[in-house]
Structure 1
Amino acid sequence: MDMDNPNQTMVSYFFLEGLMYTAEHPSLFFLLFLLIYSITLTGNLLILTTVGCDPHLCSPMYHFLGHLSFLDACLSTVTVPKVMAGLLTLDGKVISFEGCAVQLYCFHFLASTECFLYTVMAYDRYLAICQPLHYSVAMNRQMCAGLAGITWAIGAVHSAIHTSLTFRLLYCGPQHIAYFFCDIPPVLKLACADTTINELVMLANIGIVAAGCLILIIISYIFIVAAVLQIRTAKGRQRAFSTCTSHLTVVFLYYIPPVCIYLQPRSSGAGTGAPAIFYTIVTPMLNPFIYTLRNKEVKLALRKLLGQGSQESPIGSPPR
């Protein structure tokens, strides 16, 4: 901790200013966020339950989809309930110093793990389409579990680095965070110390990690597109592409908003909350729909789980 001035007192809590325009109609926005949060939890838990219960959804693609659904449900839980609490009372906007650190850690832990998971999912699609004969051996159950475990472990370490760097500084006031949750850029603006090093580390670390993952995803899809174009039948090409479009869609939704936030850390404030809302609140809600609406196997498994399908599962072999 930076103790350049021993007379300064560390703050014990912060006040989250929340989102712009929500103060005018708090009840309306509370109901809106409650609806979004309910849909997010229901959709992702349904996907997670379906993947876990249906034996036909046992391929690595669905294994990773289960992890993604769990991450989305947790990521939304880290931010949305606190936003709703702030819409009900002023006390709901207050968050303790320790609570702020926990929220920041959990958010970056889940978000970075999701980033790594998207990269693993791209690698899985590369093996399935470009090396189908070796896919079952290369992506066996042990490999799937190992890759998933590595993404969680790296995400935990990555978040720990940023959290420790952020909260090693002295915070002596002001206490108002011009944001709707504890994130690195708005919290750093309240530090009673020079944050240049923190901002450089944040840009370098998050930039390198995000850019590295995105480059690996792009490289994977370059090989995938080349392989798909060699398929002679249009039906075969469409089937191959159908297993990739959902993944590409969620990758696009995941990457664009953070770029707007973390490349301009000094501009973070209540007015820059729109991009963060999208990938912390909206995207976790959309992901289950993106994967189910374009995936016949998941839709049929969901119908079966909800008692609308036949006793005999019509699902064929998982796409490879």
Structure 2
Amino acid sequence: MNKPLVEKISREAQLTLDASTIFQGDAITVLRRLPSGSVKCVVTSPPYWGLRDYGIDDQIGLELTMPQFIQKLVTVFAEVRRVLTDDGTLWVNIGDGYTSGNRGYRATDKKNPARAMTVRPDTPEGLKPKDLMGIPWRLAFALQDDGWYLRTDIIWNKPNAMPESVKDRPNRSHEFLFMFSKSEKYFYNSDAVKQAADGGGLRNLRTVWNINTKPYAGAHFATFPPELIRPCIKASTLPGDFVLDPFFGAGTVGLVCNEEGRNYAGVELNPAYVELAVERLGGIFNNVIKVAAA
């Protein structure tokens, strides 16, 4: 793989957005250096709480308590709101989980080795063993309380969802995708995402999306499928606009932006994932900026 152009930047320097860029660093550190009102849309899937250990310092998702996790994300998205244009939108994909029953580990899985964890948070206060935690809606309400307009929830139905071994509840086969806006009035191009209706013609986009999971072969962690985020980008931006993903991972948002003629700004803490994203998005043609921690 050709090495990308890499620029190192000091902690004090302001960042600019002139072209599609991957910023390697902590989300808060990078966001605080991005110009206000510089991106039209944000599409992201933050780490889920207690479900993955990505093996890197300062990662989000292994906070000792669920309120700490929620507050960490609220802090990140408060900085996202500053970077967003006044008529911009935020789309957040977030999954749920069950209490661990105070087990401090999770066993590996032949089909998913990354599932193994040597540390897991205790059962949150007020919840019982085997409780569904309700994290997506807890986050959505926390962001609403922090000033975001909660505009809609999308149910991402996964027709090819992995089977579960549980025998005392239905197999979970969906996640949530929330749409927020910074202001009461915002840009939304409904014509760009109209769907074919029964009997012919077009209808407005609906709130249940049937989309198969489509893992990226180069990654050992979950990535959201391009078709989940394509409607978000098409409805919320025009060609040439900037789309931000503060948890860039393997760069799916960048991939869709390239296909749809948008610019992207990706922030990723883990250098191994930055390398995956660079390879996926064209190697030497990507600009990578390493941002020192605050």
TM-score range (shorter-chain normalised) is under 0.3
* Structure having the higher Rg: 1
Larger % of strand: which? 2
TM-score of the aligned structures, taking structure 1 as reference length: 0.25
TM-score of the aligned structures, taking structure 2 as reference length: 0.26
